[in-house]
Amino acid sequence: MSQTQTAVFAGGCFWGVEHLFLGVEGVKELQVGYTGGNVPHPSYEQVCTHTTGHAEAVRIVFDPQIVSFETLAKLFFEIHDPTQLDGQGPDIGPQYRSAVFYTSPQQRETALHLIDILKQKGLAVVTRVEELKEFWPAEDYHQHYYAKKGTQPYCHRRVKRF
């Protein structure tokens, strides 16, 4: 039996990020929530005030024997615009920032390496790489939002970068 690992990505509205990770082989669990701020157990309404410091993020539990963190991180950099500061498409604000919240030194190194590759390709990447301190699950109505609604993300689409 293999051990699972956790990856946490913030790249705009967490609904779209979550939706585009659905169905990735090796992903065992997806949960949207808030991280990177200074308020414990924040609500969506609090995060939207821009006073908590939190980003909308997706926590991914995955089997590294099936899918690597690098593969997930590459997908993350391809499903959002890592050059847009504090926003994603029409969603503007610090809660929509681009960030990788690493859970190990290896994840940090991988994220920084991928950012270097993108910069060498001419992209002005603004993605932050921060240690995961705490992840607060979002309210139930945010979980698997697009699957519940039967619609597609409006500000996320995959752009091949690797």
- Whether 59 and 73 have beta carbons less than 8 Å apart is answered as no
- What radius of gyration do the chain's Cα atoms show? 15
Q: In whole angstroms, how far apart are CA 4 and each of 7, 60, 61, 95, 110?
A: 10, 10, 6, 27, 18
Q: Rounded CA gap, 157 and 12, in Å?
A: 12
13 catalytic per annotation: yes
13: phi > 0 → left, psi -120 to 50 → alpha, else beta; which? beta
Whole-number Cα distances in Å, 128 to 17, 41, 84, 135, 148: 16, 22, 12, 16, 30
Question: Which helix (DSSP H) or strand (DSSP E) does residue 71 occupy?
Answer: helix 69-79
Write down the catalytic residue from 8, 13, 57, 72.
13
| Amino acid of residue 114 | L
Residues identified as active-site: 13
